[in-house]
Amino acid sequence: MEARARRLFLYAALLTAAGARPAFAQSTIYQTRKAPSSTWSPIFPLTIGSGMEFTTNDRETRWEFPVLIQYNFTPSLQLTLEPSFGHTKGKVEDVDTAGGLGDLETSLDWEFLHERRWTPAVGLEGTIRWPTASHPELGDDRHDYAVGLVISKDCVFFDLDSNITYTFVGDRDESSKLEVTLAAEYPVRRNLALNAELVQIFETGPGHGHPTEFTFGFSWHANAFWTLEYGTELDSGGEWKQLLGWQYSFGGND
């Protein structure tokens, strides 16, 4: 009888812990998307945000400023606009110094399977990248089209999100690619969480590699509306990138 009581107490504690966790907003520094239902608000389902990405190497110093505008039409349908701005300072002759508008990405996510106790939320995503860059150093002069799956699961003590995306590159001289991402978010306090993301890219065509990116950081849920993020990204080529971002949810988070 006591063993059964202990099991019931542990089960109740797990449910309480799950219910006490905050719902963090969509990230502006990580590539992995969350399921639309995780950012839905019946009050005003709009989230905006921006980020800053800094990279330097032997060829250039690059500042990028991605912008996030995200609106949920329903708990299952979400539209995302992601314009970007940037500044590149070349260190060699074949890299120009330029600043201004970068490319624009538009995405539509449809969650066709909602999360259940033992199954994750699963959705379809379609993305178009528009060649809006004001300078060749800030973007590409082509359209790219991507389709993929968005998978999200609340695992009681942490959240898991995964995307499997195939991108059809609009330039015949460039190869299309398959991108698999996995992100985890672990709350250490009511308003603070540790984040990690692994990105594996499989480029098609002969002579192409399989670059990998790993990002580790944290997010601070300042209140029901504001979220701040910081992270460091390392890719398989040995290049480091510093990431800083913020989001504001007009409907608030639980």
Contacts of 25 (CB under 8 A, 6+ apart): 39, 47, 49, 227, 247, 248, 249, 253
Q: How many CB atoms lie within 10 A of CB 20?
A: 10
**Number of domains composing the chain:** 1
Instruction: Assess if residue 221 is contained within a domain.
Output: yes
**Per-residue pLDDT for 20 more than 50?**
no
Instruction: Assess if residue 7 is contained within a domain.
Output: yes
pTM of the model: 0.85
Percentage of the residues of the chain whose pLDDT score is greater than 90: 63
What are the E-state strand segments in 43-191? 46-56, 60-72, 77-90, 98-113, 121-130, 144-154, 159-169, 177-189
Domain CATH number, residue 65: 2.40.160.40
What pairs with residue 122 in β-bridges? Answer: 113, 151
Distances (CA, A) of 123 to 1, 47, 55, 226: 43, 19, 32, 26
What is the SS3 string spanning 150-218? EEEEECCCCEEEEEEEEEEECCCCCCCEEEEEEEEEEEEECCEEEEEEEEEEEECCCCCCCCEEEEEEE
Q: Which two tokens stand for residue 18?
A: 């799950």
Q: What is the pLDDT of residues 145-181, one digit of tens each?
A: 999 999 999 998 899 999 999 999 888 778 889 999 9
Q: What is the pLDDT of residues 206-247, one digit of tens each?
A: 666 789 999 999 999 999 899 999 999 999 888 999 999 999
Structural domain of 41: 2-249
Instruction: Assess if residue 254 is contained within a domain.
Output: no
